Amino acid sequence: MDVFDHMYEESTHPVIYNGDIKSPQDYEKILKDHPGIQAVMIGRGLLADPALAERIKGTEADGTYISRLKEYVRALCDAYFSVYKDERNTLFKMKELWNFLASNTKDPEKTLRLIRRAHDLAEYKATVNRVFDTEG
């Protein structure tokens, strides 16, 4: 953060923060420490926690987090399949996403191992259901 702090202090241009924002607390700390920041890019934090923007705004929707995450993952998988029209590419994209999502599970390493073992979409979907069943 030292490089960013130096740049922030010396810059005469609008500053947009881009870093590891993983929680509303991270977001608030950046704004508190650097009150002149024009915007904050969430980036990978949003991949790991699709509800992060809602939580930052304080507008998180009703429903349990796990059930909403499960629906998000299902809808995203369906959307990827409708674009790629191919199980292999869809499966690759979903496995890639789980590199971020797994950090919010009780046992991220085990979750990733299980997801990575899936060889087709049917196996992947069954594995994801088991993961969510153990989380919820």
Q: What is the pLDDT of residues 59-80, one digit of tens each?
A: 877 768 888 899 999 999 999 9
- What pLDDT is attached to residue 46? 92
- What pLDDT is attached to residue 113? 98
- What pLDDT is attached to residue 30? 93
Q: Dihedral (C-alpha) 91, 74, 65, 129: value to the nearest 10 degrees? A: -70
Residues belonging to the chain: 136
- What pLDDT is attached to residue 9? 87
Cβ atoms 90, 77 nearer than 8 A: yes
Give every residue of the chain whose pLDDT is below 50, as ranges. none
Question: What one-character DSSP code corresponds to residue 21?
Answer: -
Listed residue (99, 47, 92) closest to 72, CA to CA:
47
- How large is the C-alpha radius of gyration of the chain? 18
CA–CA separation, 6 and 4 (whole Å): 5
- What pLDDT is attached to residue 59? 84
- What pLDDT is attached to residue 63? 67
- What pLDDT is attached to residue 1? 61
CA–CA separation, 119 and 64 (whole Å): 29
- What pLDDT is attached to residue 64? 81
